[in-house]
Amino acid sequence: MEIYKGKKKQLYLEKNSIANLFSFPAEEFMEVHEYQRDEWIIQEGMRPNFLFYVMEGKAKIYITHQNGKVSLINFINRKDYIGEMELLNDVYYTKGIQASTKTICFALSIHHCRTQLMEDAKFLRELTKFLSIKATHMASKYSQSLAFPLENRLADFILQLADEGVYKEKHVTVCDYLGVSYRHLLHVLTQFCDKGYLQKDGRYYHIKQYHSLLELAEMLKN
């Protein structure tokens, strides 16, 4: 993880200002953090010291169950918050957040800014909108598993997690997240390769027809 300093930090803040989200001068307290693929932004069970706002990249949310099984439960994308539940709740079991591509976040110290944030009506309105959209998305995910075949859901999953056109996710993680068998997943991946959507390279897949996957994924949003 890299923390931007000096001129690099200042230039990034000037080019990507989010001052409009707050009523107080929040950028005076902000850091800029850059994470590489597979780096942990937050370790599971550890309360974060920052409220993050994602500017670039993607991340994954994991949870470990009582039986030791680890599950992927959701994605984080650009303009999403990380650590908002820990900001709002004194006691909250933090999920693990792992970067799936290079990810750049604004990081606002909860220790220094919690009072200002919790009293900032402008920020709280924006956060409420975000939480509402997040809840709706989680609800739709479960209905999609019943309403759409694996082809559509897998296409969306691949596009969510592809890093510079390369898809690398472990099959067992995908099966758990999408609620499908290992055999069914391999069958659809083989179909995608046969149709030219993907090209297999060892354990990885290169996206060759982005538009074809996008057409399948877009059906989930209609």
Residue 71: what pLDDT?
Answer: 86
Counting residues of the chain whose pLDDT is more than 70, the rounded percentage is 97
The tens digit of pLDDT for each residue in 2-33 reads 999 999 999 999 999 999 999 999 999 999 99
Predicted TM-score (pTM) of the model is 0.85
Question: Contacts for 206-209 with beta carbons within 8 Å, 24 or more apart?
Answer: 206/165, 206/166, 206/167, 207/158, 207/162, 207/165, 207/166, 207/167
Mean pLDDT over 116-126 rounds to 96
Which residue in this structure is represented by tokens 């969510």?
160
177 pLDDT above the threshold of 70: yes
Helix (H) or strand (E) holding 201: strand 198-201
Cα three-residue angle 163-222-161, rounded to 5 degrees: 10
Neighbouring CB atoms inside 10 A of 21's CB total: 17
Query: Which segment of 91-100, 125-134, 162-171, 193-202 scores lowest on mean pLDDT?
Result: 91-100
Residue 138: what pLDDT?
Answer: 75
Q: Which residues pair with 61 in a beta bridge?
A: 74, 97
The tens digit of pLDDT for each residue in 28-47 reads 999 999 999 999 999 988 88
The tens digit of pLDDT for each residue in 130-165 reads 999 888 877 777 666 667 899 999 999 999 889 899
Residue 158: what pLDDT?
Answer: 95
Neighbouring CB atoms inside 10 A of 152's CB total: 18
**Domains along the chain?**
2-143 (2.60.120.10), 148-221 (1.10.10.10)
Query: Which segment of 62-76, 115-129, 204-218 scores lowest on mean pLDDT?
Result: 62-76
d(CA 105, CA 35): 8
d(CA 111, CA 192): 48
Mean pLDDT over 46-51 rounds to 90
Residue 45: what pLDDT?
Answer: 83
Short-list 112, 134, 124, CA closest to 27: 112
d(CA 41, CA 36): 10
Compute the chain's Rg from CA coordinates. 19
Task: Rounding to the nearest 10 degrees, give the CA dihedral for residues 25, 28, 32, 33.
Answer: -100
Mean pLDDT over 207-217 rounds to 95
